[in-house]
Structure 1
Amino acid sequence: MLDIRNLTKQYGGLTAVDHVSTVFERGAINAIIGPNGAGKTTFFNLVAGAAAPTSGEIRFEGKNIAGMAPDAIARAGIARTFQTTMLFEESTVLDNLIVGHRLRTGSRLWDVLLHTPRHKRDEAACRDKAAEMLDFVGLSAIGNHMIADTSQEQRKRIAFALALATEPKLVLLDEPAGGVNPGETDGLVALIHKMVEHDITVCLIEHKMDMIMSIADRIVVLDHGAKIADGSPGEVRNDPAVIEAYLGAEHAQA
């Protein structure tokens, strides 16, 4: 589904992503791991269009999307969440999700100003999609609650729902379990599996290694912007370069 070829991003004399090549298969749970400053979030920014690569290709379903605008990449079928949830605190949960489906509608400024039938249909479709995604992540009961009154774990689920409202084929999750307790982490893992069961491919950045080793089909390890390993959890866990750079000996299998 996603074919990365010699992807590089330089900021002046700093190389944040250094000639990274990898492939993410459709229907799999893929993970990007590595120490702080390894280039993981920059990698996500390049795939999602928040930054343009210095060189290299990002082929999504055969098309090179490198350098395309974020809205065009979202329409192509890639959605993302962020390490810090970005939600409107003084709006309801449901109202926060309505915006997610707008990129799949056709209303323009004049439709909004004149309240045309198309605008009314699109508004109804966005509200229906928001309610559907809220149910998908298990939060239908709090649709009318203000974001300011929700917990960190609920905000993670709301961020998932917002990404899913765009009707993506691939979802990029940036530290989806960050800041939640082990029991809540288990619930988010179940939700990630549910996405895959509904034909949504997942790629995530995460520092919780027990979670990654149990959930990922494929892991890419970055260090100082370069790929130092790429393979199954078992292969990565026992790679000497990964143990030295990131995991530590306690993660290696006997």
Structure 2
Amino acid sequence: MLEVRNLTKRYGGLSAVSEVTTTIEKGRIHAVIGPNGAGKTTFFNLISGAQRATAGSIVFEGQDVTGLRADQVARLGISRTFQTTSLFDMASVVDNLIVGHRLRTRSGLLDVLVNSPRLRREEALCRQKAREALDFVGLSHVANRMAGDISQEERKRVAFALAIATEPRLVLLDEPAGGVNPEETVGLADLIRKMVRHGLTVCLVEHKMDMIMSLADRITVLNYGEKIAEGTPAEIRANPAVIDAYLGSEHADV
């Protein structure tokens, strides 16, 4: 589904991502792990169009998307979440999600000024898609609550719903279980599996290794911007370079 070749992002003399090559397979869960500062979020930023690569290529379903803007990448079917879930806290949860499907609509300023039939149809559709996404992530019961009043775990699920509302094929999840307790982490892992069962492909960055090792089909390991290993969870647990750079002996296969 996604082919990344020699992807590089330099800031002056510093390489945040350095010649990373990997492939994300359709219908799978692919994890990207590594120490803080390893380049994981920058890697996501490059794929999603939030930042432009210095060198290398990104090909999504056969189309070169290197250098496209974030909105163009999203329209092609790549959505993402962020480490911190930023919502409009004084708006309802469902109103926060209406924006998700807007990239699939066509009404513009003129439609707004004249309150055109197309605008009304598309607003109704966006609200429908928002409610469908909330139902998918198990949050229909908080649809009309203020976003500022929901829990951290619910905010994480809202971030999932916002990504789903864009009608993606590939979802990039940046630390989806950050700041939630172990029981909630299990629930979010189950939600990720549900996404894949419903035809999505998932790539995630996460520091919770128990979650990653039980969830991922394949893992890419970054360190100082470079890929130092890639393989199945069993292969990664047994890799001496990964153990030394990141996992430590507690996660090693012994």
Instruction: Assess same fold via TM > 0.5.
Output: yes
Kindly state the Cα deviation for residue 251 of structure 1 after the two structures are TM-superposed. 1.0
Q: Distance in 2 between matches of 1:181 and 1:116?
A: 46
Query: What residue is the counterpart of 2:178 in the other structure?
Result: 178
SS at 1:35 equivalent: coil
In the TM superposition, what whole-angstrom CA distance separates every residue of 1:163-220 from its partner, at most 9, and x where no partner exists? 1000000000000000000000011011000100010000000000000000000000
Kindly state the Cα deviation for residue 234 of structure 1 after the two structures are TM-superposed. 0.5
Q: Distance in 1 between matches of 2:253 and 2:241?
A: 15
Query: What residue is the counterpart of 1:166 in the other structure?
Result: 166
Q: Distance in 2 between matches of 1:143 and 1:113?
A: 28
Q: Distance in 2 between matches of 1:217 and 1:147?
A: 33
Q: Distance in 1 between matches of 2:113 and 2:211?
A: 48
Does residue 205 of structure 2 align to residue 205 of structure 1? Answer: yes
Does residue 14 of structure 2 align to residue 14 of structure 1? Answer: yes
Query: What residue is the counterpart of 2:42 in the other structure?
Result: 42
Q: CA RMSD in A?
A: 0.5
Q: Distance in 1 between matches of 2:34 and 2:133?
A: 31
Query: What residue is the counterpart of 2:189 in the other structure?
Result: 189
Question: Segments of 4+ in structure 1 off by > 3 A?
Answer: none
Q: Which runs of 5+ in 1 are unaligned?
A: none
Query: What residue is the counterpart of 2:136 in the other structure?
Result: 136
Kindly state the Cα deviation for residue 19 of structure 1 after the two structures are TM-superposed. 0.1
Q: Distance in 1 between matches of 2:189 and 2:114?
A: 44
Query: What residue is the counterpart of 1:250 in the other structure?
Result: 250
Q: Which runs of 5+ in 2 are unaligned?
A: none
Spell out the pairing of 1:147-162 with structure 2 (5 A cutoff). Answer: 147-162=147-162
Q: Distance in 2 between matches of 1:117 and 1:195?
A: 33
Q: TM-score, length-normalised on structure 2?
A: 0.99
Q: Distance in 2 between matches of 1:86 and 1:58?
A: 27
Kindly state the Cα deviation for residue 108 of structure 1 after the two structures are TM-superposed. 1.2
Q: Distance in 2 between matches of 1:167 and 1:113?
A: 27
Q: Distance in 2 between matches of 1:171 and 1:234?
A: 24
Query: What residue is the counterpart of 1:218 in the other structure?
Result: 218
Amino acid at match of 1:203: C
SS at 1:164 equivalent: helix
In the TM superposition, what whole-angstrom CA distance separates every residue of 1:105-160 from its partner, at most 9, and x where no partner exists? 11111011111000000000000000000000000011000011000000000000
Query: What residue is the counterpart of 1:83 in the other structure?
Result: 83
Kindly state the Cα deviation for residue 74 of structure 1 after the two structures are TM-superposed. 0.2
Q: Distance in 2 between matches of 1:10 and 1:64?
A: 20
Amino acid at match of 1:219: I
Q: Distance in 2 between matches of 1:146 and 1:18?
A: 42
Q: Distance in 1 between matches of 2:64 and 2:240?
A: 34
